[in-house]
Chains A and B, each alone.
Chain A
């Protein structure tokens, strides 16, 4: 059976493609479809990822919890609509379920932000937690570096910040990010490239 692809790019080429390998989450998804209580395995696997995404987007733990809860409840209630779309070129360990789940999360976060009407802030307070060590001086330097990186991220336009979070925090491939954001793979690559150049310029300035 022909399957559509993650992003827009390559849609024509992939129209004749067939699913040749297993989506990583297929067994869990099938189990959850048979028995909704088995959804818990998918929940445990992706909780931290969805929560992290919401936290970086919203900059607040309580808002991130609300968005996470809404995302998983929506996913559970709409699991029958999920359609696996794995392609060989998506690489090992690809999960179209994850892409689908993050699309839900993206919509939930967008709705939440619309209601809030406040620009998200980088979760800078968490930066201090990363820098824990025994060497006080090194720890202070590290904390400053983390803070500078997160501040630079917070200043990016939303679409650039989002691709960086999906790439570095969620460790998604470019095709997966394209699927989540509904953009072409080429557009995602350009966004990533520009975002990194902005961040790099800012960090170089800080360092110098």
Chain B
């Protein structure tokens, strides 16, 4: 084995790495012929053998495993429905939150910091009911609710049409927003 013109620390690091490869491979096949690593610093050999024995993988509780599996299944079905409704499967599902979900209207009015940090509020018009992020399919007992189905159809229809940009539409939105702010204050 040659190490060419490498620096001494690199050579030692390479030797250590190859020793670890052999040690961990031996442990995996439960072999008794553990590599000697005679050319290594004894302290490194000691640390490697102890860590190979003592650093174990930790499994989460089965309750957690099943709960997350269910959550992922739910998210996967939602992605499939979004795709079927003409959307894409690209948006990341949201994790369980320990805090109550933020009302998108409040987030807009009060400038929700989390929403800004995660970019969820980006280009989001809380008064626009066709934003696909507001019409996430809701699964109850494994079945899509009729409201979610209606929402999916609405999204598909609106995605094929440009958003209204007329002065009247803008005026209606401004009036609704002003009413919402008054209601909150």
Residues on A close to B: CB < 8 A?
35-37, 39-40, 43-44, 47-49, 51-52, 55-56, 61, 64-66, 68-70, 72-74, 76-80, 123, 126-127, 130, 145-146, 149-150, 153, 164-165, 167-171, 173-174, 186, 189-190, 192-193, 196-197, 199-201, 203-204, 207
Contact = CB atoms under 8 A, between A and B. Distances in A.
Interface string B34-53: 00000001111111101110
A70 B58 CA distance: 18
Contacts of A126: 58
B73 interface: yes
B55 interface: yes
A78 B92 contact: yes
B17 A192 contact: yes
Contacts of A77: 75, 79, 89-93
Given A66-B95, A167-B20, A48 B58 contact: yes
Contacts of A49: 57
Contact of A76 (B21, B50, B72): B72
Given A52-B57, A77-B92, A189 B47 contact: no
A196 B51 CA distance: 9
Contacts of A165: 55
Given A146-B54, A199-B51, A73 B69 contact: no
Given A37-B77, A69-B68, A73-B95, A164 B16 contact: no
B9 A193 contact: yes
Contact of B60 (A68, A146, A168): A68
A149 B55 contact: yes
Nearest to B12: A193
B80 A37 contact: yes
B13 A192 contact: yes
Contacts of B91: 77
B60 A73 contact: no
B80 A51 contact: no
Contacts of A79: 89
A153 B47 CA distance: 10
A192 B20 contact: yes
B76 A39 contact: yes
The 9 closest A-B pairs by CB, nearest first: A200-B43, A77-B92, A36-B76, A200-B47, A189-B13, A199-B47, A193-B13, A168-B55, A196-B47
